[in-house]
Structure 1
Amino acid sequence: MVVLGRGDSAVRQLGLHPATTEELEQGLDQLKGFLSGRAVPTGGVAARMTWIDPFHADEVPVSVAATGPTTIAVGARHCGRVDFTVGADPRRVAWAVAEARHAVQGQGAPLSLGAFVNVAVHPDAAVARDLVRGSAAIFAHFVSEGPHDVVPDDDRAVVERVRAAYDEAAHGLTTAGQATLLPDAFLDRFAVVGSPEHCTTRLRELIDLGLDRIIVVPGSRDADPDVLAASNELFAAEVLPRLRTATGAG
């Protein structure tokens, strides 16, 4: 699967700005054209990836990583696939699912939905929170730049503080100023952190909202490697099997 987004730190740290909706739509059309083996107009000429086998390329799913309603709609309409970057609060995920479904209402087209979710599994919730604190600040920053009427009142002040303090040079670090602004209660809603039983329940709740997949974001850039490895092992050994049993997945 190929996931395309408007861009965040990858472009900001080069002094550039995220793509506009129009630029994202153009990029999606070009990407899908290249993957299907077609000649795609770009830079004033028609370019084609001659090494791509169109038969196999057609099977490559293209998804859009999205936080706000406009980008969600673009992904739903152009690709039929959206992967949300809105955190793990069920209220916000439910809103995102509804936005995607509304965008294709009446079209009868298939829709595949996923979400990027910060997940840390540890019997000590405090340890789990610290494991994803830096990466959770990234998604809080995404949310802060979207429409505020879809952010629950109890989180709005937090994401505003994150936006005001955000340091791109410390993007994804637990020690970043923006990461230290995340209260424990916010992290408990915005991420999935805690014991295997708790994480299983939280993830199952998100799946039940209409998600077809969850893309696990397991730790911050500066996470302790040993703690991260232990969390990943617990996820693979205890959380994932329970989710598969609950959803009937193989």
Structure 2
Amino acid sequence: MDRTGAAPIGLALWGTEPVRTMADYAQLAEQVGFESIWLVDTQLICPELYVMLAACAMATERLKLASGVTVPVTRHESVTASGLATLQELSGGRALAGISTGHSALRDIGEQPARIADLAEYVARVRQLLAGESTVFGSGSEGALTWLPEPASVPFHIAASGPRLTRAAAGMADGVILLQGAAPDLVDDAIDLVRQGAADAGRLESDVERTVWVYVGLHDDQERAYDQVRARVSAVLRMLDPGRLEGDDRAVAEAVRREYDMFAHADSMPKHAALVPERLLDRYAIAGTPAQVTARISALANDDRIDRVVVSPQIGAPGQSITRNFIAAFGEHVLPNVEKC
């Protein structure tokens, strides 16, 4: 995708707070200059995704509104298509569909992630429904969104943390969300996978948007900034195949897999987070002072291979949310300086 200037920057939030609070966050995010807001879809940890996105739509005018991300197993194709089409109508065309095979939403209810082939079929069916067409569901039954007055064009972005899904996503989606770290070599590897996947599918590389999703800790005190991302990096390591790492890093990933408490997935400082050393925090997240964060975010946003950067802050302990302060501080100290670097 061709563009001039820095890539737009979106904001990913855990929707664990009251709906009106989340709508206020969306309004503030729009005011300070974020391009989009991405809300987590994990039903035992967060309130209902589409209710929250609708509230955010009503509170904003320009902000794009995305599932960040939803999964096939917990939502039938007809449910997802109806939710996205309704959001697209309500928001005046600002909806984005973030989707993947699943993690916490499924682990918490004893289910396994969807297979890549099933995800591809699911995306195809949802797209047919959004186009105003009928589709044949896995049950063999056929149906359509009979209420839909006209086709709803909603871009699909598939989140991927591993090589197989990254390559496959480049062949089936409008964009790929790269959940694979923040270090330059990790980003390079992820973008190469997108390139390979697009080529395998007979698509142009420019046909696939590349969104780099990074966990961000922002504080004048480096240690406190690290603490803001430690839980999120532990989640990355939980999803990562330890075989992709070596030595001490592999041992850390294996330990995180053993000790990870999925019901503490959204906690700010779960016990398993203490297993993550600083060297991995710097590879899989961006944490530091405003100047340090600005430099690393700018390097991503000004990389011509990257079409969007989504920053994901930690929510803070129960009753001690840092979200509002993060949005305000990022909007004051980072966003205005990204284009200048």
> Does TM, normalized by the shorter one, top 0.5?
yes
Partner of 1:46: 142
1:166-205 alignment runs, 5 A limit: 166-205=260-299
CA contact (8 A) 2:315 2:322 kept: no
Alignment of 1:1-250 (within 5 A): 1-42=96-137, 43-55=139-151, 57-58=152-153, 60-105=154-199, 107-108=203-204, 110-144=207-241, 148-149=243-244, 151=245, 155-207=249-301, 208=303, 210-220=305-315, 222=317, 225=320, 227-246=322-341
5+ residue gaps, structure 2, are 1-95
Question: How high is the TM-score relative to the length of structure 2?
Answer: 0.65
Counterpart of 2:167 in 1: which secondary structure? helix
Q: Is the 8 A contact 1:97 1:209 kept in 2?
A: no
SS of 1:104's equivalent? helix
Q: Helix, strand or coil: the match of 2:98?
A: strand
CA deviations 1:116-168 (Å, max 9, x no partner) are 211121111111111222222212212246xx33x466633322221121111
User: 1:65 touches 1:83 (CA, 8 Å); kept in 2?
Assistant: yes
**CA–CA distance in 2 between the matches of 1:203 and 1:189?**
13
| Whole-angstrom CA distance in 2 between matches of 1:152 and 1:117 | 22
Unpaired runs of 5+ residues, structure 1, are: none
CA displacement, residues 91-125 of structure 1 (integer Å, 9 cap, x when unaligned): 21211110001111253361200022111211111
- The amino acid across from 1:30 in the alignment is R
**Structure 1-normalised TM-score?**
0.87
Find the residue that maps to 1:192 and give its secondary structure: strand
Instruction: Name the % identity.
Output: 29
Q: Give, in whole Å, the separation in 2 of the partners of 1:74 and 1:237.
A: 38
CA shift for structure 1 position 220 = 4.1
Query: Which residue identity lines up with residue 185 of structure 2 in the other structure?
Result: R
> Quick one: distance in 2 between partners of 1:10 and 1:124?
33
Q: In the aligned structure 2, how far is the partner of 1:223 from the partner of 1:126?
A: 20
Residues of 2 paired with 1:98 and 1:209: CA distance?
Answer: 14
Q: Is the 8 A contact 1:87 1:191 kept in 2?
A: yes
Query: What is the RMSD of the two structures over their aligned residues, measured on CA atoms?
Result: 2.2
TM-aligned CA distance change 1:153 to 1:95, over 3 Å: farther
